[in-house]
Structures are given as C-alpha cells and as structure tokens.
Amino acid sequence: MKFLFILDSLDSLKAYKDTSVAIMRAAQARGHQIFSCTQGDLFWKDRVFALAGGLSLTGNDEDWYQVQEPKQTALASFDAVLNRKDPPFDLEYLTASWLLAQAERDGARVFNKPAAVRDHNEKLGILEFAQFVAPTLASSDPERVHAFIDEQRDVILKRLDGMGGESIFRVRVGDPNRHVIVETMVQGGARTIMAQRYIPEITKGDKRVLLIGGKPVPHALARIAKPGETRANLAAGGRGVAQPLSAQDRRIAETLGPVLAARGLLLVGLDVIGDHLTEVNVTSPTCFREIQDQTGFDVSGMLLDALEAELKAAHR
C-alpha cells in the first residue's frame, strides 16, 4: 500500500525518539511505500493534491532517510493519508483540516479523520467525560478564574492551544503573581483558558495512555517532571517511564476508546494524572518509541494492524 505522511520538516524530526519515524519504519518493513509532505505542500486545484516525495528509511538515527524528488500527487491516489503535523492548532492547521476533509470527499482515507480532529480540542475534550475529570473551569473571565483559584486553593492554568507544556502555570491561592498570570493568560477576557485543580499525584507522573482503534496499548508512559518543575512533558525536560496500565487507566481507556474510534479517531493519546483524565490528544500523539524501547511491546505494529484492518474493511 501507499501511505502519505503529513509531517513537520524531515530535518526537524529526531529519529531516535520520534513516533512518526517509528511508524514509517514499521510500515516500510511490512512492504508499504512511504511518502511525505509538509502541511504547506497541500493544495486544491480541481481536487486536493500534495507535493509529495517518496521516502526510504534507514535504521540509522543520524542519517535516517532518503527522499525522492517531490511530485504533484492527488491525495485520493494514496491508500492512506496520516496527518502527523504537530500543533499549534492555528489557522493553517485548521485550513489543512478543511483541505483534508475535501480530500476525503475526493475518495482519500485520512487518519485521524479531519472533522473529528476539529471537534476535539485536546484540552476541552475531557469535558465530555466529566466522571473522570478533576474540578475544572473553562472561561475567559478573569474574575471567574480568580474565584476558582480561591475555591480550589492550588490550580493549573492552561491555554487551549498549547502543546509540550507551553503556557502552563501552577497558581496557589496566595501566589503574589497570580493576578499578572491570570491577566496574561486570559488577555483581558479575550482568551478562554482551562483551570484545573492541582493533582498531587503528578509527582508519580503524567501518564500517556494510547488508544489505537479504540483499544488501549497495555503500557502507559509516565512522564515524570525534573526536580523543581511542575510540568512533566518530555518537551519540558520530563523523563518517561513505561509501566502497565492501572485499573483506573484501563477503565478510562475502555470507556473512551469505542466512542472516539467510532468518530474516526484511529490514534488517541489520553493524559491521566493519578485517577483523573486531563487531556485527550488527537493531533499527533507520541510516546511510541519510549514504550517500545522499554517494554518490547510493538506499538507501531499495533497501529499498523488497526490501520490495515480499516483499509481492508473499506474495500470490501
């Protein structure tokens, strides 16, 4: 089969830990043809095309790819299009999702489904599953945010379009900087943010639980913050420790999995702290390599099994 991966620039990917590289290598090992393009290479002219180059991947993490001269190719001519472009979910990302939705109407098979990605903000996506969520507020009103801080005493503030630990603040009720932090976050009432009660179990890790085709990967990656840091994200210097799913991790995963898969979300990364769901990541979930390397479980193989099953079912 022919798979097109929409990625950030190839030179920006760190092959030794990158999930997209792990998936592409596993797909190539199965005999699939791999092509890549960037978000900016998508365009519409009678139908949706990409300026896409064929990729040959090596096992060398330094010199890990060779790319052919890109050619104008209709997205519908690929067996699958996998959008692995990292956030931010800005206007260009949104525009790409509209183009990918049109490509679906042209006959392309896009994963994750563009409409489902648009409908699931990675922070607000938890609100649908409130039974698993710690006390939470979503608001642009600074006074409402301050009232929530007063009520909960110790909170985490997040912007809705952040990634990798960007724009995340821990604010305690007596924090002398709380007013300037809140003012900066909500931008005078112009920007909605999320506030969540601080969950002390973050010291044991912010767990990434992967859902593939609605089913949980049996191991989570607990991302543990470095000393003196609240954020456990790997991009913020956290370290990842793979561990079996807890009973609550599995309960959350088995509740959300079938619902999200039915909406066209083949791959989802749930963030769980303690017993609480904190994010539902649908854009380009990561942590494959860390789980694979530490446990031997073939996460990439599980994804390809699910992808191939979906494609075969579509051709019946």
Catalytic residues, by residue number, are 123, 158, 208, 223, 231, 271, 279, 281
**Dihedral pair phi/psi, residue 85, rounded to 5°:** -70, 130
In angstroms, the CA 287 to CA 233 distance is: 11
Beta strands 110-111 and 80-83 are parallel
Neighbours of 292 (CB within 10 A): 20
Cα 23 to Cα 176, 285, 300: the distances in Å are 46, 12, 5
Q: Which positions ≥6 away from 126 have C-beta within 8 Å?
A: 132, 133, 136, 277, 278, 279, 280
**Dihedral pair phi/psi, residue 25, rounded to 5°:** -60, -45
